[in-house]
Structure 1
Amino acid sequence: MKVAIAGAGAVGRAIARELLQNEHDVTLIERDRTHIDVEAVSGATWLHADACELDDLERAELQTFDVMVAATGDDKANLVVSLLATTEFAVNRVVARVNDPRNEWLFNDDWGVDVAVSTPRMLASLVEEAVSVGDLVRLMTFRQGQANLVELTLPDDTPLAGKAVRRLQLPRDVALVAIIRGKRVIVPEPDDPLEGGDELVFIAPEEAERELHSAMKVPV
């Protein structure tokens, strides 16, 4: 997969290293020459350019990339990068970093964003996930806010213990994608039984979250 990353700060470099470990083709685009350090991410292609400038993105041949990651520390810049990547270069997937959670509402389809990643919100969600039992916790929003990755930890005394996955009465368009049980990550099969303490990970539209929460508290 060919990935362009706008912004070669600590976040952009960390993303690049992870992608390179998974054998992806990564290009880092950085407008501040003093931030360019080829040795810091030696497997990436470095480009001194402004990802908010159409001419520079044309020089980078952005239309040949599969994914654009807008990872600068400036929300305005990340929105502009996302919009250009989508409207001018038809990049298939645009992931944008949200620095200020108050701006999260802007990171949607109108600005060409497929997935918005808010580090403060994600950290808060992980804290909630660590201490919340029986409550639905939103971990991430996908695809212009039409679907969310949510988690629910079953109480030890859940009435669902021993019930098979196929017997869960999930709301429409909700999918159980993983069961985390201790150190195991289980891809659920219809006959797999649930246990108290299981962390259930779902993909669900926002309008179905309340119904999902209620369904997981009721025996089936």
Structure 2
Amino acid sequence: MKVVVAGAGRLGTQIAQVLGAARNQVTLVDQDEGRVAALEGRVPAELCLGDACEPAVLEAAGAHAADLVVATTGEDEDNLVVSLLAKRQFRVPRVIARINDDENAWLFTRHWGVDTAVPAAAPLVSLVEEATSSSDTVALLRLSKAGVNVIETTIGPRSRAAGHTLADIAVPHGIVVATVVRGGDPLAPAPDLELREGDEILVVSHTADQSEVHAVFQ
């Protein structure tokens, strides 16, 4: 699946991490030169410097061939412009947009090219189904066409993984750690990264379910 993510903030970067780790072809667009430079080599995605509200930038990012565009900037106006361009000019089949201000939610409809609107307060990658609060391990997203699950688990005070590096943890075949979120910031899943209480682990898998992921990290 070819994906363009507009906005390389926390949410956009994490989405790029997850979808890139699931072997999707992802391009992450942002107009902040420093932010783009800081992400070089840290996300499994192509980086594109520019304003995604400009058609030429979206085209350079591959919107003309994209299966999915995700607008995750911090400005609702920008997310609506990106969505409208993606749908009307580039005929992107699926467009997802972040709502920053709830008062603007009424605008995020198909009239503006938005297929799915995601409130800013929603959990990461709850693009298809909201995470429940009943478990520390929840399936956040199923990429039905690819048969890929995206699963989140949080390292608790009794988690066996706390204090161990990713290299120390026996992760079964078929489970890939996409990113570790610590204090709101995504971290590259390097083998020497030591896990701490409160870390959010995002994994992708074609085969594992929530209970299997829970058994690995809890």
Please classify the TM superposition score into its range, dividing by the shorter chain length.
Answer: 0.5 to 0.7
Structure 2 counterpart of 1:9: 9
Structure 2 counterpart of 1:218: none
Structure 2 counterpart of 1:179: none
* TM-score normalised by L of structure 2: 0.55
Gaps of 5+ in 2: 135-209, 213-218
> In the aligned structure 2, how far is the partner of 1:85 from the partner of 1:38?
25
* TM-score normalised by L of structure 1: 0.54
Structure 1 counterpart of 2:56: 55
Structure 2 counterpart of 1:140: none
Aligned length: 132
Q: More helix by proportion, 1 or 2?
A: 1
Structure 1 counterpart of 2:106: 105
Taking the TM superposition and a 5 Å limit, the aligned residue runs for 1:126-205 are 130=133
Render the CA deviation track for 1:30-77: whole Å, top value 9, x for unaligned.
Answer: 111111121221x21001011101122222331111000001111110
Q: By how many angstroms is 1:103 displaced?
A: 1.0
Structure 2 counterpart of 1:95: 96
Among 37, 40, 52, which residue is 2:42 paired with?
40
Structure 2 counterpart of 1:203: none
Structure 1 counterpart of 2:171: none
Higher relative contact order by CA 8 Å / sep ≥ 6: 1 or 2? 2
Percent identical across equivalent pairs? 44
Gaps of 5+ in 1: 132-181, 185-220
Structure 1 residues 130 and 15: CA distance shift in structure 2, 3 A? closer
State the one-letter code of the partner of 1:40.
R
Q: By how many angstroms is 1:119 displaced?
A: 3.0
Where 1:90 maps in the other structure, the secondary structure is: coil
Q: By how many angstroms is 1:183 displaced?
A: 6.1
State the one-letter code of the partner of 1:75.
D
> In the aligned structure 1, how far is the partner of 2:122 from the partner of 2:59?
33
Structure 1 residues 130 and 17: CA distance shift in structure 2, 3 A? closer
Where 1:17 maps in the other structure, the secondary structure is: helix
Structure 1 residues 60 and 110: CA distance shift in structure 2, 3 A? same
Render the CA deviation track for 1:89-148: whole Å, top value 9, x for unaligned.
Answer: 00010000111111111100110000001132669x979x659xxxxxxxxxxxxxxxxx
State the one-letter code of the partner of 1:60.
A
Larger radius of gyration: 1
Structure 1 residue runs of 4 or more that deviate by more than 3 Å after TM superposition: none
- Over the aligned positions, Cα root-mean-square deviation in angstroms equals 2.6
Where 2:59 maps in the other structure, the secondary structure is: helix
